[in-house]
Amino acid sequence: MATDEERLERVQRRLTPAVRQAIEKAIALDRLPAPLRSVIAQPALERLRPSDRMAPESLGPAAAPRGRSGPASPLAAIPIAGLEAIVQRTGRPPLLVRDDRVVMEDLPDFPEGTDGLIREVEGRIPSVGRIEFINHAMTWGGTGWVVRETGGRSLVITNRHVAALVAKRKADGRAIFMRSPFGQPYRASIDFLAEAERLEDATRTARLTEVVYLADDAAADVALLRVEATGFPLPGPLDLHDGPVHRNDLVAVIGYPAFDSRNDADDQARYFRDLYDVKRFAPGFVMQEPEAGAVFSHDCTTLGGNSGSPLIRLTDGKAVGLHFQGLYGRNNSAVGAATVAALLRGERPVAVLLPETLEERADGHHPAEHFRGRAGFDPHFLGDALPTPWPVLPAETVADLAAPSDAPPEPNELRYTHFGVKYCARRKVPVVTAVNIDGGRSVRIKRGADQWFTDGRIPREIQLGQANFADSAIDRGHMVRREDPNWGEDAEARLANGDTFHYVNAAAQHASLNQGKTLWQGLENYILESTRTHGLRACVFTGPVLRGPDEEDETVIDRAVVPLEFWKLVVTLDAEDQGLHATAYLLSQGELIRRLLEKRSRREGLEGFTLGAYRTFQLAVSDLAEATGYDLSAYVDADPLRKFEAAREALASKEPVFLPVEVPTDIRL
């Protein structure tokens, strides 16, 4: 964060004679905007009355030079925030767009003639639009612009992080629209208008029908989407600049600045006059030209909604870049026009090309005899004196479980190498999995070309297959992680690795879990790496949170139940190796927690509890047991949360105990 001295120095550098004159004029005519007055100290306001005419040289954030007599500048009493706001707002006013033309204001921060250059490039404004969403919690996500047109079919360019709100890349590299958590397909459109006085006018809104390209996270922040001809003529594409770009070239961003919580709220309100989400034209200068090892940067004023805006050169109106990030009031970064041109020619980063060359292998089938000798989950893995039994399931859940033909000692267990699965025949989903992990004997096995199998010990018709995971909205997720049972002799570990690729060990996972899954997988990695590092043993139970008969129906896509929450119970020996240590976790938007609150008649269930983004929580084992209906009594007293007084008090008052887990150090052990 900049010091006050650094901020003052920046203000003084920007206080050019032209900006000083503009400020003096605003003060003299009593036209200083009210939002700016709110950050000026009252003594300074008194001295800035129109009757107190000021010479330009008196304007500045400092008093008279040290050692010299004379009155201090009237602006000396103004807080730094006020000075910054005055200089920014006066030197670079936020220019609105009305009827595809810029609403011009004085531009003292720019060379003479800049207003004329802006007028000459106004013809590019209609090609820029607001990227809007359908069936999504967000109504819009950024800016886009027409970058190519061929026979009534145009391409719109925006940032990857904008398109990724409603789209994803599949394993084969193709990009597709996702579905909402409730099953509706996400869609997108582009509103080429969205001006301050025409926000309800949809006459220039076109559907975005296809995601042509969605960059990998390691590639330039670009997405290309197809827009089809509509009831109005589509605007033409912006020409890409194909020559050099130089520092201090005059440029401008056209886009839709939105309120951005990452920036100072009052500062944004003063500058944009509390008017966001509408088309604006923001001139500025190139700060760093695009070259090897340097980020292409500019100082046009932007906010979050400007993501995907074109950066055009005022001398010829050509696009020199695609804006993708910025620091409000400081500097911004752009993808260079050369990168955009390469993508339009069909060039793709290796990270995108490689998946497209891989084809998933066809499903296989293992007959019952293939599994001869599989021992499954060992409930005495931590010691005969400290058993780790399977969770006891309700009778109605047990009634739906598949019955393996090899008659396992643990009822309904499909036994594999170092793990077992209890599988629901009616819902076609694993109800609970159990795995033994031996960190001291772990074997790292590189993942190859995946092939999934059906299990011959239960009927094929109750198992899933590739067709059930064809929809773009769902992923095929391991319940027992591929790496967890991979320990022992090399052949044994490889057998365990292959066993995880059976459809009874797969649950359809909604794509909306992706962000929360990152933290969930981080938790899983933390568990596995901890066992490896310390040579520990662990027993891990995992399963989906299934709906009860008196609750809403399950989400079903392509005939597969798609659970929206998952739980995990991790059991190890305690620090003294004399007892069990059990921690419970939940990947959820909060639905299970809300149901617990409502079930216990807690006010929080009705007063402001909202479902948010998917997150990982640690929760009390007893709360997990009540929420799922599973008997986890063997582990309740081994929960370390019960050691904390606050947690004991909460449990005594029937308040659910749950802690968000952002990093592994958030876990209470």
Residue 129 exposed, middle or buried by CB count within 10 Å (0-12, 13-18, 19+):
buried
DSSP 70-131: SPPPGGGGS-HHHHHHHHHHHHS--EEEETTEE-----TTS-TTHHHHHHHTGGGGGGEEEE
| CATH code that applies to domain 364-666 | 3.40.570.10
Instruction: Check if the beta carbon of residue 145 is closer than 8 Å to that of residue 129.
Output: yes
- Reference 641, options 596, 566, 582, 578; nearest CA is 582
What are the two backbone dihedrals, phi and then psi, of residue 127, each rounded to the nearest 5 degrees? Answer: -80, -5
Which residues of the chain, if any, have pLDDT below 70? 1-91, 151-152, 171-172, 181-183, 229, 260-274, 292-294, 327-331, 350-360, 471-474, 510-525, 528, 531-535, 548-559, 589-614, 647, 650-651, 653-655, 658, 661-669
Distance CA 149, CA 228 (A): 10
What type of residue is 465?
G
Regarding the domain delimited by 128-228, which CATH topology (the fold level of the hierarchy) does it fall under?
Thrombin, subunit H (2.40.10)
Instruction: Check if the beta carbon of residue 157 is closer than 8 Å to that of residue 223.
Output: yes
Distance CA 496, CA 350 (A): 32
| CATH code that applies to domain 95-124+239-345 | 2.40.10.10
Burial annotation 578-612 (CB, 10 A radius, 16+ → b, else e): eebbbbbbbbbbbbbbbbbbeeeebeebeeeeeee
DSSP 177-239: E-B-TTSPBPEEEEES---TT-TT--TTEEEEEEEEEE--TTS-S-EEEEEE--SSPPPPPPP
Question: Which position has the token pair 């190498």?
Answer: 417
**Alpha-carbon Rg of the chain, whole angstroms?**
31
Distance CA 281, CA 311 (A): 10
Checking DSSP bridges between strand 297-298 and strand 310-313, what pairing results, if any? Answer: unpaired
- Reference 480, options 530, 406, 420, 396; nearest CA is 420
pLDDT score for 205: 94
Distance CA 104, CA 280 (A): 11
Residue 456 has, within 13 A of its CA and on its CB side, a CA count of 9
Domain ranges of the chain: 95-124+239-345, 128-228, 364-666
CA 175 to chain centre: 17
DSSP 233-281: PPPPPPPBP-S---TT-EEEEEE-----TTS-HHHHHHHHTT--SS-EE
pLDDT score for 472: 61
**Residues in the chain, how many?**
669
Asked if 246 is an active-site residue, the reply is no
Distance CA 498, CA 452 (A): 9
Which residues, at least 6 apart from 300, have a Cβ–Cβ distance to it below 8 Å? 251, 252, 253, 282, 283, 284, 311, 323, 332
The H-assigned helical ranges of 535-616 are 591-599
Element housing 21 (H / E): helix 17-28
- Reference 408, options 360, 453, 469, 458; nearest CA is 458
Report the chain's terminal Cα–Cα distance, integer Å.
Answer: 36
Instruction: Check if the beta carbon of residue 476 is closer than 8 Å to that of residue 500.
Output: no
Instruction: Check if the beta carbon of residue 32 is closer than 8 Å to that of residue 270.
Output: no
**DSSP bridge pairs for 619:** 584, 658
Cα maximum dimension of the chain? 100
Among 241, 298, 478, 502, the one annotated catalytic: 478
pLDDT score for 627: 82
pLDDT score for 608: 38
| Long-range interactions of 380-388: CB distance < 8 A, separation 24+ | 381/436, 381/537, 381/539, 382/537, 382/539, 382/571, 382/572, 382/573, 382/580, 383/573, 386/573, 386/579, 386/580, 387/634, 388/539, 388/571, 388/580, 388/634
436 marked as part of a ligand binding site: no
pTM passes above 0.75: no
- Reference 33, options 97, 103, 105; nearest CA is 105
Which residues, at least 6 apart from 426, have a Cβ–Cβ distance to it below 8 Å? 400
What are the two backbone dihedrals, phi and then psi, of residue 24, each rounded to the nearest 5 degrees? Answer: -60, -40
CB atoms within 10 A of CB 174: 16
Question: Which position has the token pair 């059976």?
Answer: 502
pLDDT score for 64: 38
Instruction: Check if the beta carbon of residue 513 is closer than 8 Å to that of residue 556.
Output: no
- Answer whether 128-228 and 364-666 agree in fold: no
- Reference 230, options 207, 202, 200, 198; nearest CA is 207
pLDDT score for 226: 94
